[in-house]
Amino acid sequence: MQNPFFKQIENKTGVNMDEIFALANAIQYADFTNEKQVRKIVKKVSRIANKPITKELEDQIVNSILQDGQSLDLGKIQKMLG
């Protein structure tokens, strides 16, 4: 990422902006009724946030997203991650 603003964010957070953009792209085009896609996104968010989750918590988050099936509530996931 060449933009100095994004470079500052990377330096402060330790999160690669390319990963963030890839995640945003995946979320934008994801089918939130597809468990495999949802699970992949949840794992990616956990990895990028450096917040390991248990299989049980992953299942809980995935099931919560699948129930809605229309969108991803990042606030809800954030609360579940603690």
Q: Which pLDDT belongs to residue 36?
A: 95
Q: Cα angle at 74 between 2 and 69, to 5 degrees?
A: 120
pLDDT in tens, 12-40: 878 888 888 888 888 888 888 899 999 99
Q: Which pLDDT belongs to residue 57?
A: 92
> Is 65 in contact with 38 (CB distance < 8 Å)?
yes
Global confidence as pTM: 0.73
Q: Which pLDDT belongs to residue 69?
A: 64
pLDDT in tens, 38-52: 999 999 888 888 889
